[in-house]
């Protein structure tokens, strides 16, 4: 029998809270949807930040979360579309643009893009 964990989700943008018993072998987003709960998502592949959450307590396993850097993971961010619960968990949805800015802001929006190395002339 697969273990389950209590997952509490605070959907900040909607002002709603959900509590689920999610099996360890199911993605949290997929399981929530199977229970009739609509949460933010886009790609479902762990490649964007639409379903990003901040972990308030607990642990997830998210080996396919390409959309967030190891640094953001260490800061407590996770992607619900590719996260498996590994303990009782409490998370809070994040604004996709804020997470994107945290991850990529130092690279984009800072003025003109300039070449760092000259191109070889043939």
pLDDT band, residue 99 (cuts 50/70/90): confident
Tell me if the domain spanning 4-104 has CATH number 3.10.20.30: yes
**Where do the domains of the chain lie?**
4-104
Q: What is the mean pLDDT of residues 26-35?
A: 97
Overall size of the chain counted in residues: 122
DSSP 5-42: EEEEEEETTTTEEEEEEEETTS-HHHHHHHTT-----S
Instruction: Tell me how far apart the alpha carbons of residues 21 and 3 are, in angstroms, rounded to a whole number.
Output: 9
Q: What is the pTM of this model?
A: 0.83
What is the reported pLDDT for 20?
97
Mean pLDDT (the chain) is 89
What is the reported pLDDT for 73?
94
- Residues 41-86 have pLDDT tens digits of 999 999 989 999 999 999 999 999 998 999 999 999 999 999 999 9
């Amino acid at each position: 029998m697969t273990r389950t964990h209590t997952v509490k989700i605070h959907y900040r943008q909607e002002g709603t809270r959900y509590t689920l018993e999610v099996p360890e072998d199911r993605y949290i987003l997929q399981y929530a949807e199977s229970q009739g709960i609509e949460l933010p998502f886009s790609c479902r592949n762990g490649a964007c930040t639409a379903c990003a959450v901040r972990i308030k307590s607990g642990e997830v396993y998210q080996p396919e979360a390409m959309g967030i850097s190891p640094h953001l993971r260490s800061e407590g961010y996770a992607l619900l579309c590719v996260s498996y619960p590994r303990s009782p968990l409490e998370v809070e949805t994040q604004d996709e643009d804020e997470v994107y800015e945290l991850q990529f802001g130092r690279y984009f929006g800072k003025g003109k893009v300039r070449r760092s190395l000259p191109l070889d002339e043939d």
